[in-house]
Copies of this chain bind each other. A is one copy, B any other.
Amino acid sequence: MKESGVARIAVLTVGDELLSGEITDSNFPAIASAVTSLGFVVSEQRTVGDDTERIAGTINDLSRYSDALIITGGLGPTSDDVMRESVSLATGRELELREDLADVIRGFFKSLNRKMTEENMRQAYLPKGGRPIPPAGGTAPGFVLEDEALIFVLPGVPREMQAMLKSDVLPELERVFRGGGVSVTRRIMTFGLGESEVASLVGDLIGKGPVEYAFLALAGPISVKLTASAPTAKEASRLIDEEQEKVQERLRSLIYSTDDRTMEEVVGGLLRESSMTVAVAESCTGGLVCGRITNVPGSSDYFLGGVVSYGIGSKKSILGIPDEALLEGAVSKPVAEALAKAVRQLFRSDLGVGVTGVAGPGSGDESRPVGTVCLGLAHSNGVESFEVLLPGNRSLIRSIASIGALNAVRLHIQGRNRLV
């Protein structure tokens, strides 16, 4: 390896539309987390526009610092798709027509009964020595080239990129570089306290052993990332397992996941295991709690449905929230409890969740400032509620509140006393 025992991987994403801010690059984060989870290290990432010389210069530059280079974009059929020419220029390998690829492309158009243009044949050329990766869904083949670094070139379309990453890039990286050291990471996901509070609860562990700590605030959840490096993956995993136990002793019910499952996946699993169903009445989150629950395939097994009662009128007429509860306004613990009870009854679910709050901007006041959120949870033994003051803007407040509502369900099922 060029710098250390762990293979260093650089990533280059190409496209004018990335540099203009028109779209947010989702390919780099996907590549980075896939590569990191295998124990490799991403040393650098760059984005440049659709410019042959600039791409070629960047490829040469990155090849010098890295063991492997993963590139996305510029493999389409039109003349502004210049990746093939750029790699050819960077490596001094001429482009040659690959008959096997030409056949695949002709077949694609024939199967759809569509007319093929001369331009489409551009996709059948590869730099000499390149090994093609077959098209994944579209017509663009990727390719691998062993040069100063091991170079992978993938399409910019995220689904095609991800398919090739999984089918070809990751296995090849493992095959070529697995001799070196391995670093294993684990994310311990928590909800309920801020970053500095979580950090201080495990403060005595940091720097005491071979495992590194990193904390990250993620719009509500706080991630505690453990990283261990060792000669083998097994040894690194053992270090992580031991450290995780110590972290769990300190963070206890704050932890909702140690296996990269989202809050909605964890809560879905708990509901399924306990054969319980849930329904949701939400106001300030306006559908996001339901939307989050139904992100999970198969959620219809435990999610019966919800009511988005955005106005006072619908809180009364559809959910039958009594006037007394609304005396103090729509944001209060009594209203959250009434919403939870009403929706539980309406859908005949085991659990009922009620959310009301002030997402802002505006419409807050001294007693209920923007960020005030009341959560209610109705179950067979009664109803509970609590009030929190969340930080951030409208979108952040809505997002944290929707995760918090699910966290309340998690803690209830796990039999804890506290809701956050």
Interface 0/1 of A390-404, CB less than 8 Å to B? 001111001000000
State whether the Cβ of A187 lies closer than 8 Å to any Cβ in chain B. yes
Are B46 and A20 interface neighbours, CB within 8 A? no
Cα distance A318–B23 in the bound complex, in angstroms: 40
Residue of B at shortest CB range from A65? B54
The winner among A20, A31, A223 for most chain B CB atoms within 10 A is A20
Least Cβ–Cβ distance between A358 and chain B, in angstroms? 11
Q: Is the CB of B29 within 8 A of A33?
A: no
Take A306-B287, A308-B308, A314-B347 as given contacts and tell me if A33 and B46 are in contact as well, using a CB distance cutoff of 8 Å: no
CB distance from A309 to the nearest CB of B (A): 5
Contact B314 A310 (CB under 8 A): no
Contacts of A392 in B (CB 8 A): 159
- Chain B residues whose C-beta falls within 8 Å of the C-beta of A223 in the assembled complex: 22
Interface string of A299-310 (1 = CB under 8 A from B): 110011111111
Say if the beta carbon of A26 comes within 8 Å of chain B: yes
A308 to B303, CA, bound (A): 10
Whether A33 pairs with B21 at a CB distance below 8 angstroms is yes
Q: In the assembled complex, which residues on chain B have CB atoms less than 8 Å from the CB atom of A361?
A: 297
Neighbouring B residues of A43 by C-beta, 8 Å: 19, 48-49
B16 touches A21 (CB 8 A): no
In the complex, A295 has a CB within 8 A of chain B = yes
The answer to whether B308 touches A306 (Cβ under 8 A) is yes
Contacts of A24 in B (CB 8 A): 24, 26, 29
Give every chain B residue within 8 A of A25 (Cβ-Cβ). Answer: 29
Please tell me if A362 contacts chain B, counting CB pairs below 8 Å.
yes
Set of chain B residues within 8 Å of A286, measured between Cβ atoms: 290-291, 293-295, 299, 303
Which of B22, B185, B214, B292 contacts A187 (CB under 8 A)?
Answer: B22
Is B44 in contact with A19, judged by CB distance below 8 angstroms? yes
Bound complex: CA A33 to CA B18 (Å): 10
In this assembly, does A120 line the interface, its C-beta being within 8 Å of a C-beta of chain B?
no
With A and B bound together, what is the CA distance between A360 and B299 in angstroms? 11
Whole-angstrom CA separation of A303 from B308 in the bound complex: 10
Given B216, B280, B309, B346, which contacts A17 in the complex, CB threshold below 8 Å?
B216
What B residues does A362 contact at CB under 8 A? 297
11 CB < 8 A contacts A-B: A21-B33, A21-B34, A22-B223, A28-B47, A43-B49, A287-B290, A294-B310, A297-B394, A304-B310, A304-B311, A307-B318
**Interface residues in chain A, defined as those with a beta carbon under 8 Å from any beta carbon in chain B:** 16-26, 28-36, 41-49, 54, 159, 185, 187, 214, 216, 218, 223, 225, 280, 285-295, 297, 299-300, 303-311, 313-314, 318, 346-347, 360-362, 392-395, 398
Known: A22-B214, A43-B48, A46-B47. 18 other contacts (CB 8 A): A18-B45, A19-B32, A20-B32, A20-B36, A21-B29, A22-B33, A25-B29, A44-B47, A286-B293, A286-B294, A286-B303, A287-B293, A304-B310, A304-B313, A305-B308, A305-B311, A307-B307, A318-B346
> Which 6 interchain pairs have the tightest Cβ spacing?
A286-B294, A287-B290, A21-B33, A21-B32, A287-B291, A287-B287
